[in-house]
Structure 1
Amino acid sequence: MKTLKNLLIVTVITSIFSCSSDDDNRIIDPGNGGGVITENELKGEISEDATLSASIEYTLTGSFTINEGATLTIEPGTVIKAKSGRTDVFLAVERGAKLIAKGTAEKPIKFTSDASSPKAGDWGGIVIAGRAKSNKGVDVQSEVAGLLYGGTDDADNSGELSYIIAEYTGAKINGEQEFNGISFFGVGNGTVVNNIVVSNGNDDGVEFFGGSVNVTNVYCANIADDMFDWTGGYTGTITNAFGVRNDGFDAATDDPRGIEGDSNSSDPTAAPISTPTLKNVTILNLNPDVALKAGAEIRRGTQAIISNVLFAAYGNASFGNRIDTKDDKGNGSLTITNAASQGNVGEDKIGGDITGTVTTITDGITVTADNTLTTKAGVGADLSAFNWANQSFVVTKLN
């Protein structure tokens, strides 16, 4: 694989875009051997290796697809602004393609809206397809972006995402097709994913459709639907996950949740069954006007393991249920250890088995006199892992 240094050595060509008569289907051609894309508009397809430079502020104006066999490298500190108000604006990675987006704590890579007053759902999001197993099949079409995904290679490698911020995502095409912040379709565990933030999303924060990719340090803030979601036989591990709804973020579906875990709604016994492992998780609601339907809804054949988890509602905020394993399309089962809850988080709704108990505590989440939110060490997610993202909290303090 070419390194970033090698890509930057390539002479930058003066004419980057090769446009067809139909501009919507144009090919972005960085030249044989790769090169830096110097035009600031991103739209179309990449069929050769290419690099986005941190020295250029790019605008994503349509679908931007990395074709099979090509690699797109994004330099640390790069900012990509998506054209707002469109459902056809997204970044897609085909099976056999790679996205190497390696930001740093000092220079994260940011995907955001170009609107002067951005809001949830301004653009689509990031969609990655791979060749790992799915209980939907081996050549399944993704819900959005029209990519094929699935296969037999759980070690498939779609690249790396590190220190990524994706905000104002979740454009809704119709009632059945909605973008998430980052969607992983059959992505394999050869892919590296760590230190990612999704905020102000109009559907789910991150969702896994089958696959085996592991994710470390993932933060979802202000998500209209589910913060963390999986389906289709997902078998990866999620480590250090923090999800929060701030006071004042009122965009919500009918059933927003912290965690929603499915396996297969048509056949809950279909193989592979979703069997993810989650470690060090906090689900937090700070908004008294929008209740989370559940802290964790584990259903439709899913068999999940969650260790060191905190379900917390601060002040007058609430959950409908803490844990829900009951569903008319198939119950789920959950094994929990070192589980705690704080505040009005509802009762457990048991359909499938819940192994383990949840301890009630009062100090997992605290708010200091200056309205700063802190988390108790060793309980749930480690919030300090996201200091690089400068995340903030909106809390209505009680008199």
Structure 2
Amino acid sequence: MKRHSHICNTILINLKRKMKTIKLLSILAVSASLMVGCSDDDPVTPPSSKFDLEINGQDDFDPKDLKGNVNADITLKAGVEYLLSSSLRVKEGKTLTIEPGTVIKCKAGGTDVYVAVERGAKLEAQGTALQPIVFTSDAISPRLGDWGGIVIAGKAKTNKGAEAETEVAGLKYGGTQDDDNSGTLTYVKAEYTGAKINGDQEFNGFSFYSVGSNTTINNLFISNGADDGIEFFGGTVNVTNVMCVNIKDDMFDFTGGYTGTMNNMFGVRENGFNDATEDPRGIEGDSNGSDPAALPVSTPTIKNVTILNLSSVTALKAGAEIRRGTYATVDNALFAAYGDATFGNLIDTKDDKGNGSLTITNSYKMGTVGDNKIGGEIDGTVIEDTEAITADGDNLTVKAGRGADFTEFTWTGYTLKK
């Protein structure tokens, strides 16, 4: 019995020793794994690992890699560094709020870098004169077309069909709700926009597709755009105080049955700005090139507008081209070519896809501005005023009552120079 007991004790001691050895080896193995996982070259949890393309809450996105579908109400805050790295799409029923003073840098060189707001979603970008909201390129040497722009779709009418699709960003737009509300844009700057996908798909600074009249849009500044400054595709929204500086194509554009009012619009091509498409215009207005009688017909009202060319190299094709079924009303316009700059035509209402018609009152021209090209009716005359714009050294001044009120754009910090 004693011998048997001794043998058992020996076996138990050996088993305990082996178990301790196995446990020690396991601990060492786990420790080694953790040390490898925690090395500087391979962090355990990459900083952006919790972020993906679906933004489901305020803490569900990386400010320095801003992109994705906005599936919740979120706010971009002043003082935070943001980089828009790809498309940011606000989904139906959700609101993207941007605080006054927020700066959003946009990754240069990508046609997929833009902000899109779906039908039924809202963008609440309420800057102030002292703290505007700024969208700009992140490039060290920024250029026209570095990124896309801002695209908003609404539920108001368009003559492109009950449910059309935007030229860029793939949003559905249109409907019957002319008083639709897509939010607020006020005191917002958009710089270096207009990325080009192909000949038929180009971003503008701001693109409003069937946006309704309860949307608030005022005090916008668009500079160095590779396509249009601002364009309306149908819709009923009214806009006030919009400035476009150095736009490669058209400054102010509308199509698709737009019936809103544009008030106090100032567009200028600077001396030395020589980038231009084949046919840059101050105002380009279409209704429907396939069917000029399609309803609703574009019948915008444009009040207090200045189209100024200072570039001696590239002429504007026209101060205003009103075509393809459009019936526009213009009051208090100034079409001016200063110095050696020129316009091809003053007003053009002739087009192979349908003429347009224009009623114009209390309006003026200055400098080498071409004649009207008449297709549809032009009701009214444009008076010549050789002193509508005067120089004081290098600075230019627009006479009061001639076109847009330039003082409304003091908040931009922009100075008009010859």
Find out whether 1:273 has 2:300 as its counterpart: no
How many residue pairs are counted as aligned between the two chains?
372
Give the conservation status (yes or no) of the 8 Å contact 2:51–2:60: no
Residue aligning to 1:9: none
Alignment CA distance shift 1:18-1:207 (3 Å): farther
CA RMSD of the aligned region, Å? 1.4
Long gaps (5+) in structure 1: 1-14, 21-25
Aligned partner of 2:410 among 387, 391, 394: 387
Residue aligning to 1:5: none
Alignment of 1:337-376 (within 5 A): 337-369=361-393, 371-376=394-399
The CA distance in 2 between the partners of 1:326 and 1:362, in whole Å, is 28
Alpha-carbon shift at residue 17 of structure 1 (Å): 8.0
Residue aligning to 1:335: 359
Alpha-carbon shift at residue 29 of structure 1 (Å): 2.3
Find out whether 1:234 has 2:258 as its counterpart: yes
Alignment of 1:19-168 (within 5 A): 19-20=51-52, 26-30=53-57, 39-168=63-192
- 3-state secondary structure, aligned to 2:303: strand
- When normalised by structure 2's length, the TM-score is 0.87
Long gaps (5+) in structure 2: 1-46
The CA distance in 1 between the partners of 2:186 and 2:51, in whole Å, is 32
Find out whether 1:197 has 2:221 as its counterpart: yes
Give the conservation status (yes or no) of the 8 Å contact 1:36–1:53: no
- 3-state secondary structure, aligned to 2:202: coil
The CA distance in 1 between the partners of 2:60 and 2:302, in whole Å, is 38
The CA distance in 1 between the partners of 2:339 and 2:274, in whole Å, is 17
The structure richer in helix per residue is: 2
Give the conservation status (yes or no) of the 8 Å contact 2:51–2:61: no
The CA distance in 2 between the partners of 1:155 and 1:86, in whole Å, is 34
Q: Deviations over 1:127-176 (max 9, x none)?
A: 00000000001211100000000000010000000000001000000011
- 3-state secondary structure, aligned to 2:257: coil
The runs of 4+ residues in structure 1 deviating greater than 4 Å are 15-20, 35-38
- 3-state secondary structure, aligned to 1:40: helix
The CA distance in 2 between the partners of 1:193 and 1:167, in whole Å, is 17
Give the conservation status (yes or no) of the 8 Å contact 1:131–1:154: yes
Is the deviation greater in 385-394 or in 196-205? 385-394
The CA distance in 1 between the partners of 2:140 and 2:162, in whole Å, is 42
Give the conservation status (yes or no) of the 8 Å contact 1:79–1:109: yes
The CA distance in 2 between the partners of 1:77 and 1:36, in whole Å, is 22
The CA distance in 2 between the partners of 1:107 and 1:96, in whole Å, is 28
Alignment CA distance shift 1:36-1:160 (3 Å): farther
Q: Which residue identity lines up with residue 402 of structure 2 in the other structure?
A: V
Q: Percent identity?
A: 63
Bigger Rg over Cα: 2
Q: Which residue identity lines up with residue 379 of structure 1 in the other structure?
A: R
Give the conservation status (yes or no) of the 8 Å contact 1:76–1:104: yes
Residue aligning to 1:209: 233
Alpha-carbon shift at residue 394 of structure 1 (Å): 4.4
Residue aligning to 2:401: 378
Residue aligning to 1:183: 207
Aligned partner of 1:171 among 169, 183, 195: 195
Residue aligning to 1:320: 344
- When normalised by structure 1's length, the TM-score is 0.91
Give the conservation status (yes or no) of the 8 Å contact 2:388–2:399: yes
Alpha-carbon shift at residue 28 of structure 1 (Å): 1.8
